[in-house]
Copies of this chain bind each other. A is one copy, B any other.
Amino acid sequence: MPDEVRGKALVAQSGGPTAVINASACGVIQEAQRCQQITGILGANNGIMGVLEEDLFDLAAESAETIAGLLSTPSAAIGSCRYKLGQLQSDRGKYERLLDVFRAHDVRWFFYIGGNDSMDTADKVNRLARELNYELRVLGVPKTIDNDLTCTDHCPGYGSVAKFLATATMEAGRDTEAMHTFDAVTIMEAMGRNTGWIAAACGLAQRSAEDAPHLVYVPEIPFVREQFLNDLAGVLDRGKGACVVVSEGLKDASGQYLKAEQGEFGADRFGHKQLGGVAEYLKELVEQKLHVKCRFNKLGTCQRNAIHFASQTDSSEAYRCGQEAVRQAVKGVTGMMVTLQRVRQHPYQCEFGLAPLAEVANGVKYLPREFMNEAGNHITQAMREYVQPLIQGEVPLRMGADGLPLFVRFQRRAVPQRLPRWKAG
């Protein structure tokens, strides 16, 4: 029974960018262009905010070259935001507005590329559409460097941050090794919020005991300052310095963050603490307690956008997740997120699955305890086997004559607004 739905597709990106979220957008767009039921493709400026504000642009007006260039362009080219809608009841006006915008532009396909907050929004949009009998197919495409979505083996974006940050750790480790008589300790700060997936991936860089990182700490295991200092002193006893990777979201035994970002904007509108500052905090602790010089490297947003050394496996999976979302939608599926299911390890093989948006929305996948050693200060073979297949190959770049990569940018031909201006309420 063919699906009778016809209309435009709307593509939005949300949350923190990754090196390959644009690969997912590329997969959605190129596949949508092949579907007769999809009569147009719109992009939302600034993520879901662009839908609320009816601030849309015509993705179909972009050149094929620009669309293909998304594969080698980092960050969210369509636009992103951090804007969390509340409960369907309490924030009903906003959800109705989203549907009003969809209706005004004959949007029948909504592809939302994001993390669990985005899947929550997508789920509610989908439910309201059902309730109001508005024909809409809502498909989620997973995206997060944090790798903390449930129902999927891993998340597009993770393999690339893993590959880049593990490499940067190797490189910084060689610096410490050369300079250990002066700069004895280097601390690398990994993103990942409350999960240790990214920090743990850096552990892969240690192929032998001499290699960095010598110690890895993740938020899933309560951080004990004295134990850390003992661990570190033990490494320093080898006489070759030490390189340590820490997650930004480390917590002590009482569940308090070791260090959250200072300043006026210490928490975002989701109530999420802005993390970061752990490495600097530990640098000072090390200098005070162990009396050796310590450096810290905080790569910040550079780590999540490093297309210049991104994983080809990750990019390819990101693309195919986008493509799969369109294929499922035209089959009539809605209210689901595309997932990756690892069906074989040697050689690695992943297949697609589907998970209800509501299920993804409410879960967080933590690093399994068995991926960390008993002491809680480095990874195990199980973690190595998990992450290694995800960081294979390098995304090809287009290079400019100036020696730097070439990225694309949309021309953003605005879609004329058809509704009264929206006022946030």
A residues with CB within 8 A of B: 13, 16-17, 19, 46, 49, 73-77, 79-83, 163, 166-168, 170-172, 174-183, 186, 188, 204-205, 207, 210, 262-265, 268-269, 280, 283-284, 287-288, 291, 293-302, 304-309, 311, 384, 388, 390-394, 399-400, 402-405, 407, 409
Contact = CB atoms under 8 A, between A and B. Distances in A.
A405 B166 CA distance: 10
A298 B284 CA distance: 16
Copies of this chain assembled into the complex: 2
Contacts of A262: 284
Nearest to A311: B403
B264 A80 contact: no
Given A177-B75, A182-B82, A391-B403, A171 B305 contact: yes
Contacts of A283: 263
A315 to B, nearest CB: 13
A302 B393 contact: no
Contacts of A296: 298, 300
Nearest to A49: B181
B305 A308 contact: no
A265 B284 contact: no
11 contacts: A75-B178, A77-B174, A79-B178, A81-B179, A83-B182, A188-B302, A204-B404, A263-B283, A264-B291, A265-B293, A390-B403
A180 B81 CA distance: 8
